[in-house]
Amino acid sequence: MTGVVYLVGAGPGDPGLLTVRARELLESADVVLTDKLVPPGILDDVPGEVVDVGKIGGGTQVPQDETNRLLLEHARAGRTVVRLKGGDPFVFGRGGEEAQVLREAGIPFEIVPGVTAGVAAPAYAGIPVTQRGLAAGVAFVTGHEDPAKGETQIDWPPLAAFPGTLVFYMGVRALPRIAERLVAGGRSPDEPVVIVERGTLAGQRSVSGTLATIAERASAAAVRAPSVTIVGPVAALGDELAWLDAARPLSGRTVAVTRARAQASALAGRLRALGAEVVEAPAIAIEPLAVTVPDLAGYDLLCVTSPNGAGRLLEEVRDARALAGPVIAAIGPGTARALRAGGIEPDVVPERAIAESLVEALAGVPVRRALIARAEEARDVLPGALRERGAEVDVLALYRTVAAPLDDAARAAVDGADYVTFTSASSVRNVLAAGATLQGPRLVSIGPVTSAELDAHGLRGDVEATEHTPDGLVSALVADAAVSAA
């Protein structure tokens, strides 16, 4: 039985620009043959086999014939295959060639367009590739032709005379030749030019100049691939229409996330959306414990002390109606949100997500018998305070946190980051136990308990969230980045 191949565009780099259709196909594919230039993180949870068939200019190459062979092999085996390409598969992506191979072999295929870098990178730099009065058209041109082949498919004089914007893909090393041929063809040496490096990705930057100066400026700035070059009057609009720095206040910053992998993706996604380059270095893992939830009818108070605890409790009870009897207290806003996601509205939620604040919030709540749903190892502030009030307290350990090892590359990435985020005391302990020094980055803590753990190891927490949630942590980090950039 023959399978099907989807030639899918992954977009220019920002994971948010991946299409809904592309995401659906990645989630259902048996095999993904991927290029190098795909959005970071989108392949982390892909259930199928992922095969890297990418090419890097001047680096490792997977021959196109080998990619074609793999497409046919997997499709003939009846598999659903996604051929994932950076940008759009039909814009300098060799998608047309691969479609021809599939058609000749009788393999069914579908084309899934993606956002191409030639439009997206200029847009992220504030440059419209067309603009009334400035450019009525746009031409996409490869800048990657091999100068040793002795001939070119580009007719330079007509291209130079084209009355619109020119966008060159993959042309960093060829910039001197491109500028020279455009000027020789009649373009003004003073025509504006902008190179956008890592367009739509964290660390995007632009280098501006003219046809006469851009090659020298790009060399001085050490511009590297992936980059696109925009030639034409619209390039001068970049300064006027720049929006990225205001919308992406963490642009150019590297942030290490040490949360458990299952929880890290949401935090990492939020940071990436703010422009950060995210290093995912999970130092802890959540290990569920086998438990039997007691009959809650015998309790007048149920305390849930973490989002993980909320999730595990809801998994075990299955039916939220089982929690209808006691007063339900969440340790903070993040835990409250996790309970609400399962259909439970907590009765008590202190603003600060620490046990001391929950003890204060419960001061006026009558308690005879309480159940505390928490991690296996946790501070005894809450059960101790309730027992001092005369309550009978049972602890239900729903999960434990265990150390997740960090390899050499992860340790180096953590120590080389601008910021390292910690959402628990155990993440601090485990990162240090894994060999990271934490001497260079600014250290960001989700709250006072985590900050105290940093202090206990002789480390100074640079930033502490006011609201002890991942959103609060992000807000505090953004505020600190703004101060340091001023």
* 189: Cα separation from own chain's centroid: 40
- Say what the pLDDT of residue 105 is: 96
CATH code assigned at 308: 3.40.50.10090
Under the banding of pLDDT at 50, 70 and 90, the label for residue 72 is very high
List Cβ neighbours of 90 (8 Å cut-off, separation of 6 or more): 96, 111, 113
Mean pLDDT, to the nearest integer, of 333-356? 89
- How open is the CA angle 235-238-241, to the nearest 5 degrees? 135
How high does pLDDT run on average in the chain? 91
Residues 18 and 82 in one domain: yes
- Is the pLDDT assigned to residue 40 strictly greater than 80? no
Give the end of a domain, one of 350, 369, 402. Answer: 402
Give the end of a domain, one of 353, 376, 402. Answer: 402
Catalytic residue among 30, 36, 55, 347: 55
Residue 55 annotated as catalytic: yes
Residues 127 and 142 in one domain: yes
Mean pLDDT, to the nearest integer, of 43-63? 80
Check if the beta carbon of residue 85 is closer than 8 Å to that of residue 22.
no
* 474: Cα separation from own chain's centroid: 14
pLDDT tens digits, one per residue of 421-465: 999 898 999 999 989 999 999 999 999 989 999 999 999 899 999
Residues 201 and 126 in one domain: yes
- Say what the pLDDT of residue 21 is: 97
User: Rounded distance, CA 294 to CA 290, Å?
Assistant: 13
User: Rounded distance, CA 141 to CA 295, Å?
Assistant: 69
Residues 217 and 301 in one domain: no
Residues 355 and 429 in one domain: no
Residue 480 annotated as catalytic: no
Q: At what angle do helices 425-433 and 448-456 cross, to 10 degrees?
A: 30
Residue found by looking up tokens 């502030």 in the block:
381
Residues 268 and 381 in one domain: no
Which of 240-249, 319-328, 339-348 is least confident?
A: 319-328
- Say what the pLDDT of residue 44 is: 81
Residues 294 and 376 in one domain: yes
Give the end of a domain, one of 115, 143, 170. Answer: 115
Catalytic residue among 14, 85, 88, 170: 170
pTM: 0.76
User: Rounded distance, CA 381 to CA 354, Å?
Assistant: 9
Residues 330 and 478 in one domain: no
- Is the pLDDT assigned to residue 385 strictly greater than 60? yes
Residues 237 and 275 in one domain: no
Nearest residue to 254 via CA among 416, 410, 124, 411: 416
- Is the pLDDT assigned to residue 147 strictly greater than 80? no
Residues 18 and 161 in one domain: no
Residue found by looking up tokens 């953590």 in the block:
414
Residues 384 and 463 in one domain: no
Structural domain of 295: 287-402
User: Which residues does residue 285 pair with via DSSP β-bridges, in sequence order?
Assistant: 402
Mean pLDDT, to the nearest integer, of 37-47? 84
Catalytic residue among 14, 35, 88, 418: 35
Mean pLDDT, to the nearest integer, of 384-407? 92
Number of compact structural domains in the chain: 4
Residues 100 and 231 in one domain: no
CATH code assigned at 167: 3.30.950.10
- Is the pLDDT assigned to residue 55 strictly greater than 70? no
